[in-house]
Structure 1
């Protein structure tokens, strides 16, 4: 399936908009860079590189979606991950004592009695 540089450029822009954090806004520098690549893509190998770039962006976006869906503890610290795992199986973490003599949970945010 052959594609034109314009189609490859548009597919890259669509993927960048979907992956953007700021409500689909793309930075001008990225847009300018890919536009320059698309305007210079007069050979089939350059068009193929643009298509590969679009496929890579799509794959990275899908990877992040799957990672968040099936591994929700990825953004937790080690202590929070341990506490969440214990809660998942119905256990509470033991109390830890600080220097002030107060009891705290492992994460330090909850007190268990």
Structure 2
């Protein structure tokens, strides 16, 4: 692997680790092993350059997804709320309070 190809491999592994939902100590290493196996497969010269170009694009895509997620969370604070909470927060934005809904009497 040349330096450029090593950089592509490391960029993919780095982005996979950032996207992981598991803490580092409990993270399964199967994903890293599969990525390593994909990079270790023999390829012809013309296919090799295209493969590494595609892998750099994958790393860029994953980095962009992380940034998109962070921006959504920052600029859309109502994202991920339940419908009821979303309505309350929306009404509160314009200075209104939602009326209390009566609970079913049993």
Give the TM-score normalised by the residue count of structure 2: 0.80
The structure whose RCO (Cα within 8 Å, separation 6+) is larger is 2
1:40 Cα offset (Å) = 2.3
Structure 1 CA distance for aligned equivalents of residues 42 and 94 of structure 2: 55
Using the TM superposition, name which of 37-46 and 58-67 deviates more: 37-46
Structure 2 CA distance for aligned equivalents of residues 33 and 72 of structure 1: 36
Structure 2 residues not aligned, in runs of 5+: none
Question: Which residue number corresponds to residue 28 of structure 1?
Answer: 29
Q: Which has the higher helix share?
A: 2
Are 2:4 and 1:4 equivalent residues in the alignment?
yes
Give the TM-score normalised by the residue count of structure 1: 0.76
Please list every run of at least 4 consecutive aligned residues from structure 1 whose deviation after the TM superposition is greater than 4 angstroms: none
Aligned Cα root-mean-square deviation (Å) = 2.2
Structure 1 residues not aligned, in runs of 5+: 102-113
Aligned residues: 100
Question: Which residue number corresponds to residue 47 of structure 1?
Answer: 52
